[in-house]
Structure 1
Amino acid sequence: MTLLKILHVTKKIRKLTTLSKYLNPNSVRCMASYEKYAEHKPIDKIRNIGISAHIDSGKTTLTERILFYTGRIEEMHEVKGKDNVGAVMDSMELERQRGITIQSAATYTIWKEHNINIIDTPGHVDFTVEVERSLRVLDAAVLVLCAVGGVQSQSLTVNRQMKRYNVPFLAFINKLDRLGANPYRVLSQMRSKLNHNAAFVQLPIGLEGNNKGIIDVITQQAIYFDGSFGEDMRFDEIPQDMRTECTDRRHELIEHLSNVDDTLGDLFLEGKSIEVGDIKSAIRRTCLKRTFTPVFVGTALKNRGVQPLLDGVLDYLPHPGEVTNVGLKEEEGKEPIQIVLDPARNDNKPFVALAFKLEAGKFGQLTYMRCYQGMLKKGDNIYNARTKRKVKIARLVRLHSNTMEDVNEVYAGDIFALFGVDCASGDTFVTDIKDTISLESIYVPDPVVSMAISPANSKDRDNFSKAIARFTKEDPTFHFCFDSDNKETIVSGMGELHLEIYAQRMEREYNCPVIMGKPKVAFRESLIAPCEFDYLHKKQSGGQGQYARVTGILEPLPPQKNTMLEFTDETVGTNIPKPFVPGVRRGYLAMAEKGLLSGNKLSGLKFRLIDGAHHIVDSSELAFYLAAQGAVKEVFEKGSWQVLEPIMTVEVTAPDEFQGAVIANLNKRHGIVTGTEGIEGWFTIYAEVPLNDMFGYAGELRSTTQGKGEFSMEYCRYSPCLPEIQEKLVYEYQKAMGLLPSEKMQKKKKN
């Protein structure tokens, strides 16, 4: 028996030695280290974090440094570097060419015996759903802020998303080496714009080109990063000229913590000495409650401040066991019961997981999941809580960007992926179909831009259909429909860049070049003033007829609700039997899909059904459905209507000498400037501009500012458009529908 074992081990060594000739030098080491990453840690040794920020704040560069310092990758590459390799987390060719993150990418690594699952998210508002679904499944996050740009428009969006899912986070002020870096201004913006109770836990030693290291405010030590890539941390005394500032910032930190933490507050009031452990414990407690935000500083590109940030992730952010996750337990004939999921790592509790992202890979559909309760082994069966379909698990993988590593089981708190699971984003999976638990789904914003799209060659229609089917399934903000009136295929998304990226992906991944039409904005139609209706639908053609009468008021909703549709049943008595009321509601909502003024959807309306009449034989739900549609058409003829358009919050940053030209450009595009800010030769303008006037602004801004200006925008609200825009939309719609008199008829009238 012993001899057999020796022979078996010898064979293995020979095999590895032979393989090493053909593999790169690190391959054998990678195979050996695989066991280290595959090992399942206790739940308190796990952190699930997301890296979120505004465009170009350094999220992907920071993730690249984290992977390097934790030993996950052998060498670092820049996001849009000269070596044409690109960052590990930007695995898509388009991402490397453009130097932006398009899809969120997952990875995992080990730091000080803790397993850290990381999701690197995009910064552009066009890909906001990637941030949305990542934050839905993560326990914590790192909010990266640029030391020059500070709190920008997408920073506000990310902050709202973190608040929506109650995600605790740390702030990391990056790019201290940039010209014009000012972390103190960023901290004041966090307090004023984001309303955070924030304070420094680190201070920079010098700014811009003079940045040498950082000071730990809690331990009162200076930290320097030596070595070729800043891998060697050296602790030293605080520079003489910074000691007073460091003491003041420590008092400020303790004051901010004392306001929200009773334990530290008592020590502070009693005048007792506050130790390092007391401060760290208070930061952890307040971080978990989201009442305090610790602010770290550094520069990822210059390899400073990343390792202390990783220590902060372990010290202050929660593990999966400290986060309360709730599911709804559904039973037939009963109201759903809210239950708290148990994250303890044992196999006694039933398995519960959420599918938060879909991706078509070379082996079929890849479904990203987060396990909230129980465990799952390879070969187990799971059920989709929505469709009740059973799936056998043939392969379990954990992800490192676009590479996969097989595992045999996953536990509560793990982020993993499965193959061959037919589901939608936001579906819940369980192992016990009798004990059905549903998790809260993901918030998906409505698309704001539409474009006509068609394949350049008619022979590519099959590939075009496959691409559209895949992308609409992967991305819930990418919509597709066929406009039967204009005989056009329409795609809708979150912005021009969003749709442009998908057009390029169709050509690259499906060999299907496409022609994009002019962008179309998602206009809406609404009433200006309440309008009464009294409509009788009567039809008799032998046999049972149709009879329904509806009376009521169609009225506009207040501006803050002008994207909604409401229906109220205010009928008293039996003039309209209650079983027919849903028919009225369906008829109203069906008419709201396409208005008669400009062909856009109706919104900001309230349909008040007050009275009506029915016939004992001829009335039906269909009759009331048609009566409601007739009532809305009647209001179109009698009422005063207006077209609403989406207004965007635009933020433009450029050098001071171009301020006049930028403001003139925004005014030309019917923008309203809401605020300005200036610092050290640069200005930032905040404005509200109609989306319809923002097309082509990127190129115009570049030419106006010699390529130095940059802007970002996000959806703000719907507002009535200008009369000339409304007239143009109405004219174009009537022309497309053939409602205008032909040119020949007009000439005859003139003659």
Structure 2
Amino acid sequence: MSELQDKINKRRTFAIISHPDAGKTTLTEKLLLYGGAIHLAGSVKSRKTNRHAVSDWMEIEKQRGISVTSSVLQFDYDGYRVNILDTPGHQDFSEDTYRTLIAADSAVMLIDAAKGVEPQTKKLFWVCHRRKLPIFTFVNKLDRYGRAPMDLMDEIEKILHINAFPINWPIGVDGHYIGVYDRIKKQVELFDNDNSHGSKILKSTTGDLNDPAIKDAIGEANYQTLLDDIELLDLAGDEFDLQKVLDGELTPMFFGSAMTNFGVRPFLEKFLELSPAPQPRKLKDGSVVLPDNENFSAFIFKIQANMNPAHRDRISFMRICSGKFEKGMSVWHLQGNHPVKLSQPQQFMAQERTTVETAYPGDIIGVFDPGIFTIGDTLTTEKNKIQFEDFPIFPPEIFAKVQPKDSLKRKQFEKGIVQLAQEGAIQVFRQKNIGMESFVVGVVGILQLEVLDYRLKNEYSAQLLMDRLPYSVARWVYADDAEAIRNMKGLDNGMLVYDKLGRPVVLVSNEWNLNWLLERNPGINFTEVPSEARAI
């Protein structure tokens, strides 16, 4: 086996998806704790301390206790290099989540034991399912009262239309579980009841189900319930089939509590064993590039400005798809059509940065970006110019006209607007023959406007004047005759704007007004996204 193939086999790159408040950021933090990347876990919502989740680095995230941008985190565990993509749970930031899923090889779906499958979980599941991503389920918050494990398993199968195979099964009663039974190893693991409240690694005892000491520790009632559950699962449940897991047709199911660390280590170890190594990536021409291809290739899936407010830096995150990365190497930037030297390559543990000397397929690295990269860009060797498939485009549904409150801050305002658009946090449009100070911004969720206002004020020292526009539908427009677009009929209740590439876009308030335009302009084509892009 070559060194490259060996490195690939030891990489795991996955995203965590869930509905808001299911405990996603907490689980991420606990995986870092077990991986030795941190030594004391804190809670996002801790009232006794000022500690916040290590993956929430943006100040607004710490204030609101939610993730509004994807975090990229690495750690090593048992010979594996683990790349975690912690995504925002709130649906208003689903664009960032979808782009991040393109960089993942598998997904961990987090389910709240009390709430079951929630709307945003369902939405994100189908995005993963369409991409045939292997999906692993972690039922969280077993330290609280919740629904019966059998009911949760049944709900996953009925609502998401995917078969579930519980790898482990909780031992105990609702809200007072004491351990898990590993159905593969046929082994019991009982967790200590410590007082660290999840800040330290939880100690446990393992043993055979027939061991008298284990049986005594479980208790007669719990022991009999466990035997009955195991019998029912073995008789009525699916057989475990790893190929079905890798094809996205069967979800391995785990139970635990990220808050107390109950079940976290068994989940991590089994996930690393069952989840796929870095997979081939699709190219624009329909072919794929294999990870063990010696030619380096990568794509940009995330751009973040001002991760370090003191330096006002801008980092572009790339997913390495093939070949070996080496610090200082020159690569070909396909969209820019020129070579680029990748200086200051870094890997991240939240805001903590480590300089990268080498990296391999599946790894996520950040490089200093002077403003030349955009999301979806391809980086490759000059002699092997391939291009990865286009990233999906999200038609915005909420629009606002924005301008600086203080005209003396115009430069800071424009810089902030441009950089946040390059990050993919907003889409920016202009009106023709309107002063340069005013922009129209489009977003998918209202919280994105709050983040825009907050970040411009705190990162660029530019306060906003923001006027919401009465539009909810955007369509890119095309015609053989440009005059036909400029003289469009029936636009009294809409607005004609232009995107960053100068392409005309019509904004209207609803589908009825859109149909009104369609009827009166038969020579114009209307599309949800630019014609060369693909919608989500």
TM over 0.5: yes
Match of 1:78 among 43, 48, 68: 43
Q: Deviations over 1:593-643 (max 9, x none)?
A: 9824444647979x9xxxxxxxxxxxxxxxxxxxxx99946999xxxxxxx
**1:469 to 1:150, Cα distance in 2 relative to 1, 3 A:** same
Distance, in Å, in 2 between the alignment partners of 1:631 and 1:588 is 14
User: Normalized against structure 2, the TM-score is what?
Assistant: 0.82
* Matched residue, 1:241: 224
Distance, in Å, in 2 between the alignment partners of 1:592 and 1:188 is 54
Q: How far did 1:483 drift?
A: 7.6
Match of 1:134 among 100, 109, 113: 100
Higher relative contact order (CA 8 A, sep 6+): 2
Instruction: Tell me if the contact between 1:588 and 1:632 (Cα under 8 Å) persists in the aligned partners.
Output: no
* Matched residue, 1:692: none
**1:309 to 1:252, Cα distance in 2 relative to 1, 3 A:** farther
* Matched residue, 2:210: none
* Matched residue, 1:452: 401
Q: State whether structure 2 residue 358 is matched by structure 1 residue 358.
A: no
Amino acid at match of 1:385: L
Computed over aligned residues only, the root mean square deviation of the Cα atoms, in angstroms, reads 3.2
- Percentage of pairs with the same residue: 27
Q: How far did 1:455 drift?
A: 2.5
Q: Deviations over 1:692-747 (max 9, x none)?
A: xxxxxxxxxxxxxxxxxxxxxxxxx9xxxxxxxxxxxxxxxxxxxxxxxxxxxxxx
Q: How far did 1:466 drift?
A: 1.4
Q: Secondary structure at the match of 2:343?
A: coil
Distance, in Å, in 2 between the alignment partners of 1:326 and 1:583 is 33
Q: How far did 1:62 drift?
A: 0.3
Q: How far did 1:312 drift?
A: 2.0
Q: State whether structure 2 residue 419 is matched by structure 1 residue 419.
A: no
Q: Secondary structure at the match of 2:127?
A: helix
Q: Secondary structure at the match of 1:110?
A: strand
Amino acid at match of 1:135: L
Distance, in Å, in 2 between the alignment partners of 1:469 and 1:180 is 46
Q: State whether structure 2 residue 70 is matched by structure 1 residue 125.
A: no
Instruction: Tell me if the contact between 2:33 and 2:201 (Cα under 8 Å) persists in the aligned partners.
Output: no
Match of 2:260 among 302, 319, 331: 302
**1:635 to 1:70, Cα distance in 2 relative to 1, 3 A:** closer
**1:159 to 1:587, Cα distance in 2 relative to 1, 3 A:** farther
Instruction: Tell me if the contact between 1:398 and 1:415 (Cα under 8 Å) persists in the aligned partners.
Output: yes
Q: State whether structure 2 residue 280 is matched by structure 1 residue 324.
A: yes
* Matched residue, 1:187: 153
* Matched residue, 1:736: none
Q: State whether structure 2 residue 127 is matched by structure 1 residue 161.
A: yes
* Matched residue, 1:388: 337
* Matched residue, 2:491: 595
* Matched residue, 2:82: 116
Distance, in Å, in 1 between the alignment partners of 2:183 and 2:518 is 70
* Matched residue, 1:560: none
Once the two structures are overlaid, the 10-residue window that deviates more, 213-222 or 112-121, is 213-222
Q: Secondary structure at the match of 1:583?
A: coil
Instruction: Tell me if the contact between 2:18 and 2:124 (Cα under 8 Å) persists in the aligned partners.
Output: yes
| Greater C-alpha radius of gyration | 1
**1:342 to 1:519, Cα distance in 2 relative to 1, 3 A:** same
Distance, in Å, in 1 between the alignment partners of 2:465 and 2:493 is 29
Distance, in Å, in 2 between the alignment partners of 1:353 and 1:480 is 29
Q: Secondary structure at the match of 1:357?
A: strand
**1:186 to 1:417, Cα distance in 2 relative to 1, 3 A:** same
Q: State whether structure 2 residue 287 is matched by structure 1 residue 339.
A: yes
Residue correspondence of structure 1 range 19-98 to structure 2 within 5 A: 42-82=7-47, 83-98=49-64
Match of 2:420 among 471, 475, 486: 471
Q: State whether structure 2 residue 434 is matched by structure 1 residue 504.
A: no
Instruction: Give unpaired runs (5+ residues) of structure 2.
Output: 208-213, 496-505, 525-535
Q: How far did 1:452 drift?
A: 2.9
Instruction: Tell me if the contact between 1:60 and 1:120 (Cα under 8 Å) persists in the aligned partners.
Output: yes
Q: Secondary structure at the match of 1:436?
A: coil
**1:40 to 1:340, Cα distance in 2 relative to 1, 3 A:** closer
**1:212 to 1:423, Cα distance in 2 relative to 1, 3 A:** same
Structure with the higher fraction of residues in helix conformation: 1
Distance, in Å, in 2 between the alignment partners of 1:503 and 1:351 is 39
Distance, in Å, in 1 between the alignment partners of 2:60 and 2:461 is 15
Distance, in Å, in 1 between the alignment partners of 2:72 and 2:191 is 27
**1:242 to 1:455, Cα distance in 2 relative to 1, 3 A:** same
Aligned length: 484
User: Normalized against structure 1, the TM-score is what?
Assistant: 0.60
Residue correspondence of structure 1 range 545-694 to structure 2 within 5 A: 583-584=480-481, 595-599=491-495, 601=507, 632=520
Distance, in Å, in 1 between the alignment partners of 2:521 and 2:128 is 43
Once the two structures are overlaid, the 10-residue window that deviates more, 464-473 or 229-238, is 229-238
Instruction: Give unpaired runs (5+ residues) of structure 1.
Output: 1-38, 258-278, 329-335, 525-562, 568-581, 608-628, 637-716, 718-751
Instruction: Tell me if the contact between 2:332 and 2:385 (Cα under 8 Å) persists in the aligned partners.
Output: no
Q: How far did 1:199 drift?
A: 2.9
